[in-house]
Amino acid sequence: MTLELLSSNKCFGGWNKRYRHRSRTLDCEMVFGIYLPPQAVRGAKLPVVYWLSGLTCTDENFMHKAGAQRLAAELGLVLVTPDTSPRGPGVPDDPEGAWDFGLGAGFYVDATQHPWAQHYRMHDYVVRELPALIEAEFPVSELRAISGHSMGGHGAMVCALRNPGRYRSVSAFAPIGNPISSPWGEKAFTHLLGDDHATWKPWDACALIAATRGKDCERLPILVDQGEDDEFVDLQLKPEVLRASAETSGYPLTLRRQPGYDHSYYFVASFIEDHLRYHAQHLAQPSA
């Protein structure tokens, strides 16, 4: 697979780079960002933290705003930031031109409905195609963690819950925890997955957590931070529904409510160190 280097900037002794490539999964060109800390520059194979951004974002928001590179350099973590959606002249967008669906709002599911199914397969891209590319082209190991914000927090939890053993750790900032009962999720899932709500549950973190109840299966602990002054908390994000689902199922969820914080990247930047140290700890543990 051909990688086109778009930009390269030295940062805390490592390199922040952006690449374009042709995605077979999404049937379009995609751009991703990668931070290679100094240890990777020297040839060490390092673990990877995949970051999934939220509605309207691109691969650049996290790299520009979260302030994560300094600590990634200290901890020896590679950061990878895919885009939030397929893009391009042939990729369908919201028919009404709204910001909460379409380009920039792929919701990290694999669409089944026309015309979305040809391109909107972000789950498969994030879980399989992109890691295979990263592991083939860069000095990284097969140790992976995943995190994200808002729509990306939903995506991170779903990727981990649907793919046991794929990731060593998972965390989220202000995730859309129960998208099947969120206006954002309802709109996107209707377009991408159809009207049958039964087909939505495999893409909902609360439903996936509930499905583990009484089963002998891997229960990867989830760390979630939620700002108490987040304007979307009650209508769209529903952290208490996520908490209740975890408590009912006995699932290991740590949900921290952070007073005064909103939904912005100021919130993400304030707690990204906690999350990266959390991932580094799990990535350093020996395999089970």
Segment 142-170 shows an average pLDDT of 98
Going by their DSSP bridges, the two strands 253-258 and 222-227 should be labelled as: parallel
Query: What are 172's strand-pairing partners?
Result: 224
Residue 218 is predicted with a pLDDT of: 79
Contact predicate 28/88, CB 8 Å: yes
pLDDT in tens, 198-237: 999 999 999 999 999 877 777 999 999 999 999 999 999 9
Segment 111-131 shows an average pLDDT of 98
One-letter amino acid for residue 74 of the chain: E
Residue 150 among the catalytic residues:
yes
- Lookup: tokens for 11: 């940062």
pLDDT in tens, 261-288: 999 999 999 999 999 999 999 999 876 5
Single out the catalytic residue among 85, 150, 171, 249: 150
pTM over 0.75, yes/no: yes
Single out the catalytic residue among 149, 154, 263, 282: 263
CATH architecture assigned to 3-284: 3-Layer(aba) Sandwich (3.40)
Sheet holding 78-82, edge to edge: 4-11, 14-23, 28-36, 78-82, 46-52, 140-148, 169-173, 222-227, 253-258
Q: CA-based angle 253:272:39, to the nearest 5?
A: 115
Residue 263 among the catalytic residues:
yes
Single out the catalytic residue among 230, 245, 270, 279: 230
